[in-house]
């Protein structure tokens, strides 16, 4: 047995064990106890957005079926068309992270009092279950609550890959939460913010991946971060070009390398090993390695089915999609990781290029002036 075959077998065994542990932990996961009737907290729901797409405008116009007191405020540079019960707060921050700038401005000018503050991106279709799932843990004493993003309505290859990645692989935030060691995995699309979280957020207006740094800061202070039992449902457009998810996850890989450099190499080793190991098995012609890879595929498929079962009440696709789309998701993340390898040090975000510092801090890169030829 060659050294390369042996190394591949070790890699395959570790990746298979990683997935098996995730399956066991997710199988033991129990639904959190719902709040008692009449105990729903008062909520201030902030929707920061710059230039909403037609889909995002639909989400902002959607009524929220929350039984408790709720005020929804859209924070943006200009007034979009909104439902009568939704307020608009004009905001045009100068901070590198405009989303954090919108939130901090809103929290400075709006009365919060004893309300639970939620921040939900405009691409999320907010439901009463999501509001309750985010607000209840914070009202009960958690420093931060977050929700797993759940893309729905995938129709083409790119949208299926993106949905497969976030729903059926280790990059699902339910799987990340189950396997977290240290600071919890947090998705900034939907957050419940305690006063302690807001205090930490004020130092992150020049950071990209502020959700990762926020979770790290709160963990260092011994404060709790809770995953909502309800997902953040993200309706997808009818057509999604491949460039959109590839650029998004390439940027996420760059952010991960800046925030958690020790975790960055685990992406190909633990999160996207199936395709590289399949290529190695075919190239090396080892029956033992081929059998090990088949075992990895079986365990990863079981993980995808378990995650599909957890999403069953709200997901729009059945288990058949889980069996195939997890591999599309792995391929997307692997491609994003490979692209990020030669894009370290800088990140292009919202049309600006920034140098990345440790912890995701951004320093704008000034364009070089040129007098032209001659």
pLDDT in tens, 314-326: 655 556 788 999 9
Per-residue pLDDT, 251: 92
Task: Give the pLDDT confidence score for residue 370 in this predicted structure.
Answer: 40
Q: Where are the domains of the chain?
A: 3-28+254-345, 43-239
Residue 363 reports pLDDT greater than 90: no
Mean pLDDT for all residues in the chain: 90
Closest of 27, 49, 102 to residue 309, by C-alpha:
27
Dump strand ranges (E) for the chain. Answer: 43-48, 70-76, 86-90, 116-120, 144-146, 149-152, 190-193, 225-227, 232-235, 346-349, 352-357, 361-364
Contact 26, 307 (CB under 8 A): yes
Please, which residues have CB within 8 angstroms of residue 79's CB and are 6 or more apart in sequence? 88, 90
pLDDT tens column, 20-72 = 999 999 988 754 444 455 579 999 999 999 989 999 999 999 899 999 999 99
How does pLDDT run across 253-282, given as a tens digit for each residue?
A: 999 999 889 999 999 999 999 999 999 999
pLDDT tens profile 325-341: 999 999 999 999 999 99
Quote the CA–CA distance of 360 and 264 in Å, as a whole number. Answer: 14
Give the count of beta carbons closer than 10 Å to the beta carbon of residue 168.
Answer: 32
Pairing type for strands 352-357 and 225-227 reads unpaired
Give tens-digit pLDDT for 193-205: 999 999 999 999 9
Model pLDDT, residue 344: 78
- The answer to whether the CB of 129 falls within 8 A of the CB of 68 is no
- In this prediction, residue 320 carries a pLDDT of 74
Task: Pull the structure tokens for residue 249.
Answer: 């996850």
User: Residue 109 — pLDDT band, cuts 50, 70, 90?
Assistant: very high
Number of neighbours of residue 35 by Cβ within 10 angstroms: 17
pLDDT-based confidence at residue 171 (cuts at 50, 70, 90): very high
Would you place residue 374 in the very low, low, confident or very high pLDDT band (cuts 50, 70, 90)?
A: very low
* Least confident range of 165-169, 258-262, 348-352: 348-352
- Is the pLDDT at 367 greater than 70? The verdict is no
Q: Residue 366: pLDDT above 70?
A: no
- Tell me what pLDDT residue 369 has: 41
Per-residue pLDDT at 247 exceeds 50: yes
> Judging by DSSP bridges, how do beta strands 352-357 and 361-364 pair with one another?
antiparallel
Which pLDDT does position 351 carry in this prediction?
73
Does the domain made of 43-239 have the CATH classification 3.40.50.10490? no
């Amino acid at each position: 047995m060659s050294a390369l075959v042996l190394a591949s077998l070790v890699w395959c065994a570790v990746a298979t064990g990683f997935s098996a542990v995730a399956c066991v932990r997710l199988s033991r996961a129990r639904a959190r106890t719902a709040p008692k009737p009449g105990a729903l907290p008062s909520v201030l729901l902030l929707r920061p957005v710059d230039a909403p797409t037609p889909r995002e405008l639909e989400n902002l116009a959607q009524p929220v079926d929350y039984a408790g007191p709720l005020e929804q405020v859209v924070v943006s540079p200009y007034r979009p068309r909104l439902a009568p019960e939704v307020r608009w707060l004009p905001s045009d921050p100068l901070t590198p992270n405009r989303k954090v700038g919108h939130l901090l401005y809103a929290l400075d000018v709006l009365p919060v009092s004893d309300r639970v503050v939620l921040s939900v991106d405009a691409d999320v279709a907010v439901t009463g279950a999501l509001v309750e799932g985010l607000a209840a843990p914070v009202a009960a004493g958690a420093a931060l609550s977050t929700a797993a993003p759940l893309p729905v309505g995938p129709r083409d290859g790119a949208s299926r890959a993106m949905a497969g990645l976030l729903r059926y692989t280790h990059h699902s935030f339910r799987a990340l939460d189950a396997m977290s060691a240290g600071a919890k995995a947090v998705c900034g699309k939907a957050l419940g913010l305690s006063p302690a979280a807001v205090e930490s957020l004020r130092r992150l207006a020049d950071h990209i991946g502020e959700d990762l740094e926020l979770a790290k800061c709160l963990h260092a202070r011994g404060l709790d971060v809770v995953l909502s039992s309800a997902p953040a449902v993200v309706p997808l457009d009818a057509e999604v070009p491949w460039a959109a998810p590839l650029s998004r996850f390439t940027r996420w890989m760059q952010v991960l390398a800046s925030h958690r450099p020790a975790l960055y190499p685990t992406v190909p080793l633990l999160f996207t090993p199936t395709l590289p190991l399949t290529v190695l098995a075919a190239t090396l012609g080892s029956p033992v390695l081929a059998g090990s890879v088949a075992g990895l595929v079986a365990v990863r498929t079981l993980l995808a089915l378990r995650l599909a079962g957890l999403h069953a009440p709200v997901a729009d696709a059945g288990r058949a999609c889980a069996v195939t789309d997890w591999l599309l998701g792995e391929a997307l993340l692997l491609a994003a990781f490979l692209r990020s390898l030669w894009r370290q040090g800088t990140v292009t975000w919202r049309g600006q290029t920034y140098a990345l510092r440790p912890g995701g801090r951004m320093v704008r890169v000034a364009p070089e002036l040129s007098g032209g030829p001659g």
